[in-house]
Amino acid sequence: MTTAFQKNNIVTYPEIYLAIDNCFASKRYTEPDDWMSLIRDLGISFIEASADTECDPLYMGREYLRRWVDKAFHASGKYGVSICNLYSGHGTYSTLGLSHTDPLIRDRILNGWLKPMVETAAALDAGLGFFCHAFSNPVLQDPALYENYKNELVANLAEAAQFSGVAGCRSIGVEQMYSPHQIPWTIKGAEDLIKQVSEKSTKPLYITIDTGHQSGQRNFLKPKKEALIQAMEQYQKEGQLGRIWLGSDTAFQLFDTCKGFNSSQLEDIGAQLVMEMDSHPYLFSENPDSSTYAWLEELACYSPIIHLQQTDGTSSGHWPFTKSNNDKGMIEGRKVLEAIKTSYEHQRNLNVPKVDRIYMTIEVFASTGSINYYTIRELLETIRYWRQFIPEDGKKLDELL
């Protein structure tokens, strides 16, 4: 994969492609011939193949995946579409994965799932995006233990990135999330993870920005001492904590001791709470972390895949871009492209090349009870919406604007 760069104040902008994740086809249109023909008829030529749509190494095994690649190549030639990226599905998202408390499981995910996915992506001349780790609550409660697990995760991600370079995978990246137990979930944390992993590998690690994955960060803002005292006073009157985020279990236990205390004692507890929160900085977000556009402006240039979903900012529901959803949603096509452009114009340098190609990938989920006919109609409306802004695949970003 070639990369974009900025030299002598001349900015090189990326090529933009409109793609779609085939997760909507999971357990419905399961053969490559099925979903490739359907997506071709939708007017899309570039596909992100989800592991949920029958290509997960843990469930299917390497022999099946080799046959699956052959079928994918055959269908690709038949319908004139291609798999641009592979992506993880719900299977690895639902486990501790690469941050499991048992090292045997961490090894299994790395060598039994992640590396086979890399090999499959390389066989298709595609990139790979994924999410396959989480920290358990006991790990989050202990800063030293958390640091150990984070270092282990960085080492495993670096090994995966290095392996992807040897295998010939076009790019590799981890998806950004929106809660403390699933990093990267803050802008600063994403920058650090990119740098730390890439420093240990000759192949850079990138991220995937999802336009709905900023819906949780506002729940984890660090309150100031004044807000803590006000919350304790309210707790004394009403007996309810409300939704204030304190971080560690110890902080919540300390908060519970405030019943019956006077204002001077509340001041003391407030000071102790601030110290406890400061000892767990990785549990807190900042205001920009809740903004889709802030993420794009800061880090889109390190995101070869951008997942597109409509959202009102309160949840990550993976809504289609229908008129009714767009009327209440906050994701606007032109604003997204403008934010991406800003990221290329920043002077920031993470010691990782900026990507020269971005797949703007529609990621609309179909529920178990959804009706195929209506799902397809919503996808058509979604594609029509995005074709207003990306009428032709492969055009430079500045040309689209």
Instruction: Please check whether residues 324 and 377 belong to one and the same domain.
Output: yes
CB 227 within 8 A of CB 274: no
Q: pLDDT tens digits for 254-312?
A: 999 988 889 899 999 999 999 999 999 999 999 999 999 999 999 999 999 999 999 99
Whether residues 35 and 56 fall in one domain: yes
Residue 74, pLDDT above cutoff 50: yes
Output the CA torsion 222→228→230→234 (10° steps). 100
Query: What's 344's domain CATH number?
Result: 3.20.20.150
8 A C-beta contact, residue 355 and residue 207: no
Domain boundaries, position 334:
3-217+286-400
Domain count, the chain: 2
CA angle, residues 137, 142, 148, in degrees to nearest 5: 95
pLDDT at 9 over 80: no
Domain limit, last residue, from 244, 259, 282: 282
Is 190's pLDDT higher than 90?
yes
For residues 249 and 121, membership in a common domain is answered with: no
Residues 322 and 244 in one domain: no
Q: For residue 8, what pLDDT is reported? A: 54
Q: Which helix (H) or strand (E) holds 72?
A: helix 57-79
Residues 358-377: tens digit of each pLDDT: 999 999 999 999 999 999 99
Is 118 a residue whose pLDDT tops 80?
yes
**pTM > 0.85:** yes
- Domain check: are 68 and 175 in the same one? yes
- Read off φ and ψ for residue 243, nearest 5 degrees: -120, 20
Q: Do 340 and 278 reside in the same domain of the chain?
A: no
Q: What's the CA gap between 99 and 17, in Å, rounded?
A: 33
Question: Both 69 and 180 in a single domain?
Answer: yes
